[in-house]
Structure 1
Amino acid sequence: MSIVLERRLRGVHALLEMALRDERSRPRPSDLVVAGIKKKKLSIKDQLLALDRRTRATAR
């Protein structure tokens, strides 16, 4: 289960990275959109770290 969740989170993170790149490449990127995407990316990174910690704790 955790492997599937990790892959899904990494996939969403990659999609958000592409969205961020697309927004920044616009002639006048929206600061609000960029901030929202960054916030979502950070949330996913936090979830991945928490998942990694749980996985390591149960492996002991």
Structure 2
Amino acid sequence: MTIVLARRLRGHHALLEMALKDERSRARPDDRTLAGIKKKKLAIKDRLSVFDSASVRSTAH
């Protein structure tokens, strides 16, 4: 994974965090919407963890 892709994923993760806060601040947050946002955030976090572990291995050598 390239650094550019990692930055894009982090940016998208931040946007999802804002969407999550917005949905939670509504008078009646939609549970399905919240679950969908959380699922997307988790998928991005999983992809970033692969990138972070690969970058740690490359700097360890």
Common fold by TM > 0.5: yes
Counterparts of 2:53 and 2:21 in 1: how far apart (Å)?
30
CA RMSD of aligned residues (A): 1.3
Residue identity over aligned pairs, in percent, reads 63
Counterparts of 1:52 and 1:22 in 2: how far apart (Å)?
28
The residue that corresponds to 1:3 in the other structure is 3
Counterparts of 2:2 and 2:55 in 1: how far apart (Å)?
8
The residue that corresponds to 1:53 in the other structure is 53
Secondary structure of the corresponding residue to residue 28 of structure 2: coil
**Structure 2: runs of 5+ lacking an equivalent:** none
TM value normalised by structure 1: 0.88
**Structure 1 residue 6 displacement after superposition:** 1.0
**Structure 1: runs of 5+ lacking an equivalent:** none
**Structure 1 residue 55 displacement after superposition:** 2.3
Counterparts of 2:29 and 2:35 in 1: how far apart (Å)?
11
